[in-house]
Amino acid sequence: MYSTNQFLKPVTTKINDNGNLEIGGCDLVELAEKYGTPLYVVDEQTLRNICHDYKKAFSAYPKVNMMYASKALCTCAVSAILNQEGFGFDVVSGGEIYTVYKSGADMSKVLFNGNNKSYDELELALDLGIGRVSADNFFELSLLNEIAKSRNKTVDILLRITPGIECHTHEYIQTGHLDSKFGFDLTQIDEAVELIVNEYTNLRLHGLHAHIGSQIFETSIYADEIEILVKELARLREKFGLEPDEINLGGGPGVKYTDADNPPSVYEIAEVIISSLNKNIDKYGIKPPTLYIEPGRSVISTAGVTLYTIGSSKQVPHGRKYAAVDGGMSDNPRPSMYQAEYFAQAANKPAAEPLQTVTIAGRFCESGDILIKDAELPELEEGDILCVFNTGAYNYSMASNYNRVGKPAMVLVNSSQSDMIVKRETLEDLVSHDVIPDKLKGSR
């Protein structure tokens, strides 16, 4: 069965009676006029559909905690939708904790992750009542115990481990151990558990957590991960007489950025995970653990598009043809950081023949600021609206103010209604954190 992460475009995308692209019942050209460009657009229906896919796909396993990895896109409105859909949250900073909190989400369903959480962030997490901390290293165990003790609290933790599996996007390797900045090596787990049992009595261990990579296309990697986690869980029970009964597989399921990508459906992934879990539960003789999964990209990517306005164009003699947009690497750093590829259409003439090969350049002062190399598009002119698909994940969340350019606005579309969920940054916003010492103040 297909799932929504396998689509190139939001599920509501169509060409409307104006001959323009429409998403969520909203004409993209009108959205660009109303809110300006660049503009992030999030289709609520697509987001809710993928949540539904995940819940349905995993319904065959009785104990599943669906967590959304906030790092993919963390705003109050997006968090509120995921909370409504019954998702918890994997968060990695005080900022993400606070955003999820402000959205009104259930904080007991939040898990705090990260390899160098600060004292202040851990305090905030405890004060706001988050459900779990994924303890990453020895330093953190000691810090967390100290904070918990000073508040007379017990903190519920998972141990983040490095399972010896590494995903290089579409292929993976297994090694005895991995050189990773995240988590405890398999050989360090016992020492960590001994500390928790004997010294860090304000920590309560519930289970193990791992994450093997992102934009994963191979489902079998999850089966290998599960075997390692279940085996370790059984070993800890045996050796320490503990009853940890939770395993967190992390995130990773891939999405379709271009026609060349064929990510597996969430249903296939769930089938592999659940059957491997059941097999290993029998093999290692443990009672079924609670399963956590924490996808980010596959939940939000397909729901998001970015609208740009075409400005200058040029034909390099004997070289490429370029068309420049009013955004680029500050609103989407993925092409310049990871050579990521995207698919685009002209929102005001989606039916026009893609007659030219044109490279879509950003507006930032850097040669590497190219959004799409050699795109097949119709003739473009100044004022055309370009829609780049699959920009929901890791675009706004990694956006910067490079070149002192404000971050775009974001709108949520559904049933022909658009609601602004992030305001566009203004010139005043850009200088609002600057301070001029008295001695430098000019006379103007």
Binding test (CB under 6 A) with ligand LLP, winner from 121, 218, 225, 294:
294
Residues 6+ apart with CB under 8 A from 393: 72, 73, 255, 296, 297, 299, 300, 301, 304
Does residue number 113 form part of the binding site for ligand LLP (CB under 6 A)?
A: yes
Per CB under 6 A, does 112 bind ligand LLP? no
Regarding 330 and contact with ligand LLP (CB under 6 A), the answer is no
Closest approach of ligand LLP to the CB of residue 394, in Å: 3
Site string (146-175) toward ligand LLP, x via CB under 6 A: ------------------------------
Which of the ranges 64-72, 217-225, 265-273, 410-418 carries the binding residues for ligand LLP, by CB under 6 A? 64-72
Tell me if residue 365 is catalytic. Answer: yes
Is 69 a binding residue for ligand LLP by CB under 6 A? The answer is: yes
In this chain, which stretch among 149-157, 279-287, 294-302, 351-359 interacts with ligand LLP, using CB under 6 A?
294-302
Distances (CA, A) of 174 to 166, 177, 181: 6, 8, 17
- How many residues touch ligand LLP (CB under 6 A)? 19
Go through 118-135 and write b for each residue having 16 or more CB atoms within 10 A of its CB, e for each that does not: eeebbebbbeeebbbbbb
* Residue of 72, 97, 229, 375 that binds ligand LLP (CB under 6 A): 72
Q: What is the three-state SS of the chain?
A: CCCHHHCCCCCCCEECCCCCEEECCEEHHHHHHHHCCCEEEEEHHHHHHHHHHHHHHCCCCCCEEEEEEHHHCCCHHHHHHHHHCCCEEEECCHHHHHHHHHCCCCHHHEEECCCCCCHHHHHHHHHCCCCEEEECCHHHHHHHHHHHHHCCCCEEEEEEEECCEEEECCEEEECCCCCCCCCEEHHHHHHHHHHHHHCCCCEEEEEEECCCCCCECCCHHHHHHHHHHHHHHHHHHHHHCCCCCEEECCCCECCCCCCCCCCCCHHHHHHHHHHHHHHHHHHHCCCCCEEEECCCHHHHCCCEEEEEEEEEEEECCCCCEEEEECCCCCCCCHHHHHCCCCCEEECCCCCCCCCEEEEEECCCCCCCCEEEEEEEECCCCCCCEEEEECCCCCCHHHCCCHHHCCCCEEEEEECCEEEEEECCCCHHHHHCCCCCCHHHCCCC
Among 24, 88, 263, 295, which residue interacts with ligand LLP (rule: CB under 6 A)? 295
**What's the min distance (Å) between Cβ of 93 and ligand LLP?**
12
Among 251, 289, 378, 392, binds ligand LLP (CB under 6 A): 251
* Binding segment toward ligand LLP, per CB under 6 A, in 118-126, 135-143, 195-203, 295-303: 295-303
Residue 131 interacting with ligand LLP (CB under 6 A)? no
Query: Is residue 394 close enough to count as binding ligand LLP by CB under 6 A?
Result: yes
Give the residue closest to ligand LLP by C-beta. Answer: 251
- Using rule CB under 6 A, residue 244 touches ligand LLP: no
Shortest distance, position 221 Cβ to ligand LLP, whole Å: 12
Q: Is 362 in the site for ligand LLP (CB under 6 A)?
A: no
The stretch among 191-199, 293-301, 320-328, 346-354 that binds ligand LLP (CB under 6 A) is 293-301
- Note whether 296 binds ligand LLP by CB under 6 A: yes
- Does 214 bind ligand LLP (CB under 6 A)? Our answer is yes
For position 225 contacting ligand LLP by CB under 6 A, the verdict is no
251-259, 278-286, 362-370, 399-407 -> range binding ligand LLP (CB under 6 A): 251-259
> If binding is defined by CB under 6 A, does position 130 make contact with ligand LLP?
no
Exactly one of 74, 167, 365, 387 is catalytic; which is it? 365
Nearer to ligand LLP among residue 9 and residue 211 (C-beta): 211
- Verify binding: residue 132, ligand LLP, rule CB under 6 A: no
Applying CB under 6 A, the span of 124-132, 170-178, 248-256, 406-414 interacting with ligand LLP comes to 248-256
Q: How far is the CB of 396 from ligand LLP (least distance, A)?
A: 11
If binding is defined by CB under 6 A, does position 334 make contact with ligand LLP?
Answer: yes
Identify any residues that bridge with 184 across adjacent strands, giving them in sequence order.
161
Angle value at C-alpha 83, between 222 and 203, nearest 5 degrees: 65
Strands 385-389 and 344-346: antiparallel
Catalytic residues: 365
Residues lying near ligand LLP in the complex (CB under 6 A) are found at 69, 71-72, 90, 113, 211, 214, 250-253, 294-298, 334, 338, 394
